[in-house]
Amino acid sequence: MESLIIQPTFNALTGVLEIPGDKSISHRSVMFGSIAKGVTKVTNFLPGDDCLSTISCFRKLGVVIEESENLLTIYGNGFDGLTEPDEILDVGNSGTTIRLLLGILAGRPFYSSLIGDRSIGKRPMTRVTEPLRQMGARIDGRNNGAFTPLSIRGGGLTPINYELPVASAQVKSALILAGLQAKGESTIIEPADTRDHTERMIRKFGGEIQRDNSVIRVKGDQKLIGTEIHVPGDISSAAFFLVAGAIVPGSEILLKNVGINPTRNGIIDVMNKMGADLEISHQPGDSFEPIGDMTIKASRLKGTVIEGDLIPKLIDEIPIIALLATQAEGKTVIKNAEELKVKETNRIDTVVQELTKLGARIEATDDGMIIYGGSSLTGGTVSSHGDHRIGMMLAIAAQICKGEVTLENPEAISISYPNFFTHLNILKK
């Protein structure tokens, strides 16, 4: 797509949005629907490019998946129903797809090869390929399996007892998915809590998984049964409009049916600490994934420190939190966030580089960034660098710039939020 010219908003942002389905949960609904026995029906599935890559991979593995406007139907036939693909599995831009898929394929007694786009080609895979090899999977690939393209021949897995070197839901999930197919019980230890959608999915599909503080135990040879999943709105997508509502003077926005899973809601803690006028009403419902409505109003904000165990609970929101911090009084320091360097882009570098172009005062550090608040943003030409979250952050920044912003590579936004600009325009009317 050509560059997009974005005009600042001269009015407050007001209105109500139904935030699209959660990306992490949408991926997992296809994966679990495919490895379960029976039919799984998914509503509010996110039709973003990443989740479509997951559907395409599972179709190549022999799973029948029907898409209609409001419903995804997956005809699972258990782990054994997956068949050797005669085409390469292309995960596109999606780290979640490749890492979790490797966990599933580790237990399958056939050959698969996997590729992705240029960004995927730079993201570290040893964090999953190494423990999966320890369980018995045969994996090869560029740089001895550190990067795509990768090939895997699975089957005959032994359980693992593994302490994760980094707090990563993708690594944890890959090992859980392999553990479900191993002979015996696997134990996985997390250095900090990460999103627990995989664990919740296992229970929803009739399987068992135990957690005792940081220790997760999963038994092998489990049979999962197809079910109905309603995907909550994605808090990582809602985050863009939470920040827009907080920084555009006079704004008031209601975001409906957003997932507020405690392993994902770090942005709520941070916004409260910064003095945001944010109200959340918890929706009563089943225990699968908690959901709430969020009302955000513009208010004065103050800088804060974001670090430690909070980081995995808001890792994908750091780019938009950095923008929020440019509009606070005082300094915001983000620490212990070195994982940002291995996302779709090096998000420490891309956030600092692009916000600096717009006039923000922000410095990169080894494990995060320092943002000096009270900047008035100017406008200019910026790029998403092909990273959806950087693109959306810059589109929200453009709302408070003095002049227009030209956003290069805006098409990346469809990875996780295909109707992002439609929603932004609803609030600008």
Active site residues: 316
Q: How far is the CB of 84 from ligand SPQ (least distance, A)?
A: 25
CB burial of 46-63 (b: ≥16 within 10 Å; e: otherwise) equals bbbbbbbbbbbbbebbeb
Helix 95-105 vs helix 49-60: crossing angle, to nearest 10: 20
The answer for residues whose C-beta is within 8 angstroms of residue 16's C-beta and 6 or more apart is 253, 254, 255, 256
Q: Under the rule (CB under 6 A), what is the footprint of ligand SPQ?
A: 23-24, 50, 94-96, 168-170, 173, 195, 315-316, 339, 343-344, 389, 416
SS3 233: strand
Is 159 in contact with 135 (CB distance < 8 Å)?
A: yes
Q: In this structure, what token pair is assigned to residue 100?
A: 């979790």
Q: Strands, DSSP E only, in 142-265? A: 147-153, 161-163, 185-189, 210-212, 215-219, 228-230, 252-259
**DSSP H or E stretch at residue 279:** strand 277-283
Q: How far is the CB of 11 from ligand SPQ (least distance, A)?
A: 30
Which among 182, 195, 117 is positioned nearest to 155, based on CA atoms? 182
Q: In this structure, what token pair is assigned to residue 74?
A: 């997956």
Smaller CB separation from ligand SPQ, 195 or 204: 195
Which bin fits 401, alpha (ψ -120 to 50), beta or left (φ > 0)?
beta
Q: How far is the CB of 80 from ligand SPQ (least distance, A)?
A: 25
Is 30 in contact with 57 (CB distance < 8 Å)?
A: no
Q: How far is the CB of 44 from ligand SPQ (least distance, A)?
A: 16
Smaller CB separation from ligand SPQ, 234 or 303: 234
Compute the distance between CA of residue 154 and CA of residue 136 in angstroms, rounded to an integer: 7
Which among 51, 53, 5, 57 is positioned nearest to 29, based on CA atoms? 51
Q: In this structure, what token pair is assigned to residue 392?
A: 């959306």
Q: How far is the CB of 126 from ligand SPQ (least distance, A)?
A: 13
Compute the distance between CA of residue 220 and CA of residue 183 in angstroms, rounded to an integer: 5
Smaller CB separation from ligand SPQ, 293 or 338: 338
Smaller CB separation from ligand SPQ, 23 or 357: 23
Compute the distance between CA of residue 381 and CA of residue 166 in angstroms, rounded to an integer: 35
Question: Within 13 Å, how many C-alpha atoms sit on residue 407's CB side?
Answer: 29
Smaller CB separation from ligand SPQ, 173 or 251: 173
Q: How far is the CB of 172 from ligand SPQ (least distance, A)?
A: 7
**Distances in whole angstroms, Cα of residue 144 to Cα of each of 123, 226, 394:** 14, 37, 37
Smaller CB separation from ligand SPQ, 173 or 332: 173
* Chain residue at closest Cβ approach to ligand SPQ: 95
For 232, phi then psi, to 5°, come to -70, 160
Q: How far is the CB of 254 from ligand SPQ (least distance, A)?
A: 24
Q: How far is the CB of 93 from ligand SPQ (least distance, A)?
A: 6
